[in-house]
Structure 1
Amino acid sequence: MSDDRTLREALADRLAADGHLRASLWRSAVVDTPRHEFLRGGYFRRVDGAGPTGWEPVMPEDPAWLPATYTDDSLVTQIAGTIVPGDIQGRIFRAPTSSSTMPSLVVRMLEELHLDDGMRVLEIGTGTGYSTALLCHRLGAGLVTSVEVDEEVSARARVALGAVGHTPGLIAGDGLAGTPDAEPYDRIVATCGVLAVPPAWLARTRPGGRILATVCGWMYSSELARLTVGDDGTARGRFLGGQVSFMLARPHLPAPLGVLPDLFGGEERETALGPGALDDWTTRFVAQLAAPRAQRVRVSVDGGEPADVVVDVGAGSWAVLRRDGERWIARQGGPDRLWDEIEDRVARWRQDGSPGLERFRIAVTPDGQSITWLR
């Protein structure tokens, strides 16, 4: 038995023991699919220190490379939109833009699709191609189409998929717009986060079909949603829980902060909701429902101690939170009162018993998306 086959079986055993891998068909896919073939270009290892987070390349000749490809970890494969591990020596201090998702999340999502033989699947976000390969193993490559916005990432995935014997339909383009072919899909699965489920996905899914996607906001609380498309072209569903997180689709990335608005004007009032409440994942998700395009940052205002700031760059609205003894004071400016909206939404959620995200419901129509919760 080859070393990597042993590693594949050990990975499948770990995923099963942790409750992520349940169906025998998906276990076979994990055991038969060499993840390391999708990481031949290396990966970036995170390096933490006193300063900003750094990333250093780990290449196939490194003894740590092969075992790492069979850990249950997401492995960063691209930095800053273009830089791959083979491009640099030393460290880079920029943000990751592509990765190989942790296998436990990959197989959980694939199992949540509830696939049957003969179903056609559209994957949004090919990435390295590993999840695409698992789909091909389960359904056959002829039933799998995958869209990747980055042409170079798509090209590398095509090579890796060919190396393991799979030739699915691969498209380099904007997956948020769906695909040009006429026949609808039975399932759509997204391996990137979205601010809202695109209406184009509803049009590309047959009635009764399902969409699985991670819905996020710019304060980076996100959850996995599973929706069923109805005969009327709308989709409804629920969140599955588990604090699932993906990199946002590039068209949905937040606007650069640039020069912040003037944070010294505005109106002040006492607030019952301090900024620390947003440290909680679910509370932050609720806050995003009120202010989906707001970003949360800490900045020094007037040379003082760093303060919590919530800002919607596009709208020009902002709120600064500061402590005054035992009280919290919110100073707000711009066309909208961001903190008023956040505080009101969080208060209503708490009055309803602070339901968990598995009790939230999502509805998508061609006109937009709405999210509510059950009491």
Structure 2
Amino acid sequence: MAAHTARTTGLRDLRETAHAAQVRELTAAGVLDDPAWQAAFAAVPRHVFVPYFWTGRGAGHERLWGQDPDPEVRARWLRGVYADTPLATRLRDGELVSSSSQPSLMAKMLRALEVRDGDNVLEIGAGTGYNAALLCHRLGEDLVTTVDLDEEITESARTHLAELGYHPLVVTGDGARGCPARAPFDRILVTCALPMVPHAWTAQCRPGARILAPLSTGLIALTVRDPGFAEGRFLHNPAYFVPLRGATAARPPRDPGGAAPHGLPYELVENERFQFMLVLTEGVLHPREALDLWRREDRPARERFGVTVSGEGQWAWLDDPQGPYVWPLGETRD
């Protein structure tokens, strides 16, 4: 009994030390410069939301579990949980369907969301519930709604949140349809990759609301003017997320390690900036056209691109929504 108590105490101390170290590292990296978000990350332990995760790829998947009888496996699990890396938390037939995002990227996205006290926030993609817990700490659970298509995921997230005393509304449903019962929203935070922005989201927002969502391999920050119109630019950060499932399903991401399309140079296909433009214009520009434009415009960074959402359609653009370089985004599939 004494040995078991000592092991339990040791693991708890290790968790607390690792959690505190994570907050210090994120603060030192400059991604927790807002005291409110720093307090949220300090108050919400990641290990509660990631009781296990998968490592490796293909047939080499290994599950690391916080309750493993082997103390070395438990230590590896804990080190992984508090590393600044995304973690695979749910696989189905060998395919990743849910993950815990990289903490530094989460911090950047929460900062870019620009929440204010009293904001009503909708999260698309409940995942483990960790992001929702951070939002609950910052805003209060009554102002947080999180949606996921998979009942197993929402039930798990609900359980993790309740363990820490948070009870936001966790909805099982198609995130592309939003949550009209809790609208209007001041902020929508999306944690799954999109091919386009569902019109239901802008319709459920107040004027002046902000939508932050992964699109292509970047993060688009849209300001909603009215229920039928939103516009904004991409942040400079790269972002790779599990695709949204449901009515607005994302295309599988292009594999930069695969064959170079249409004879494009491998070094450019693997170039993060060009890969972003290639995915954003896929199906509209021939890859060679995309390459010529990218070179002609001095290899533009993500911040030079933007997106407009209106009742007439959706389009991405370079520098100016009324300028010469505009590309339609795909239409929603029912």
| Bucket of the pairwise TM-score, normalised by the shorter protein | 0.7 to 0.9
Q: Is the 8 A contact 1:36 1:66 kept in 2?
A: yes
* Whole-angstrom distance in 1 between the partners of 2:252 and 2:36: 42
2:29 pairs with 1:38: no
The residue type paired with residue 246 of structure 1 is F
Q: Is the 8 A contact 2:55 2:61 kept in 1?
A: yes
Aligned to 1:243: 238
The residue type paired with residue 158 of structure 1 is R
* Whole-angstrom distance in 1 between the partners of 2:290 and 2:307: 16
- Deviation of 1:30 after TM superposition, in Å, equals 0.8
2:11 pairs with 1:5: no
Aligned to 1:285: 276
Structure 1 67/288 Cα, relative in aligned 2: closer, same or farther at 3 Å?
closer
2:220 pairs with 1:225: yes
* Whole-angstrom distance in 1 between the partners of 2:204 and 2:60: 40
SS at match of 2:135: helix
SS at match of 2:212: strand
Structural mapping, 1:38-187, within 5 Å = 38-40=49-51, 42-46=52-56, 52=58, 54-60=60-66, 61=68, 62-80=74-92, 94-181=94-181, 183-187=183-187
- Deviation of 1:362 after TM superposition, in Å, equals 1.3
Structure 1 239/95 Cα, relative in aligned 2: closer, same or farther at 3 Å?
same
* Whole-angstrom distance in 2 between the partners of 1:285 and 1:169: 34
5+ long unaligned stretches in structure 2:
1-11, 69-73, 254-261, 321-334
2:28 pairs with 1:28: no
Q: Deviations over 1:155-209 (max 9, x none)?
A: 0110110000000011001101111316310000001110111111111111100
The residue type paired with residue 185 of structure 1 is F
* Whole-angstrom distance in 1 between the partners of 2:164 and 2:226: 38
Which structure carries more helix by proportion? Answer: 2
Aligned to 1:311: none
The residue type paired with residue 344 of structure 1 is E
SS at match of 1:193: coil
SS at match of 1:213: strand
5+ long unaligned stretches in structure 1:
82-93, 217-221, 257-270, 293-337
Most deviating of 137-146 and 21-30: 21-30
- Deviation of 1:342 after TM superposition, in Å, equals 2.4
The residue type paired with residue 296 of structure 2 is Q
- Deviation of 1:284 after TM superposition, in Å, equals 2.3
Aligned to 2:302: 357
* Whole-angstrom distance in 2 between the partners of 1:214 and 1:182: 23
- Deviation of 1:95 after TM superposition, in Å, equals 2.4
Q: Give the alignment's Cα RMSD to 1 decimal.
A: 2.3
Length-normalised TM-score, structure 1? 0.73
The residue type paired with residue 18 of structure 2 is L
The residue type paired with residue 174 of structure 1 is D
Q: Is the 8 A contact 1:202 1:235 kept in 2?
A: yes
SS at match of 1:181: helix
Length-normalised TM-score, structure 2? 0.82
The residue type paired with residue 55 of structure 2 is R
Structure 1 151/28 Cα, relative in aligned 2: closer, same or farther at 3 Å?
same
* Whole-angstrom distance in 2 between the partners of 1:58 and 1:244: 25
Q: Is the 8 A contact 1:124 1:175 kept in 2?
A: yes
Aligned to 1:15: 26
Aligned-residue identity in percent: 37
- From 286, 289, 292, the equivalent of 1:344 is 289
Q: Is the 8 A contact 2:202 2:227 kept in 1?
A: no
* Whole-angstrom distance in 2 between the partners of 1:182 and 1:106: 24
SS at match of 1:230: strand
- Deviation of 1:66 after TM superposition, in Å, equals 2.2
Which structure carries more strand by proportion? Answer: 1
SS at match of 2:317: strand
* Whole-angstrom distance in 2 between the partners of 1:2 and 1:160: 20
The residue type paired with residue 46 of structure 1 is G
> In terms of Rg, which structure is larger?
1
- Deviation of 1:272 after TM superposition, in Å, equals 8.3
Structural mapping, 1:187-226, within 5 Å = 187-216=187-216, 222-226=217-221
Q: Deviations over 1:340-374 (max 9, x none)?
A: 72222331232222211111121112343211112
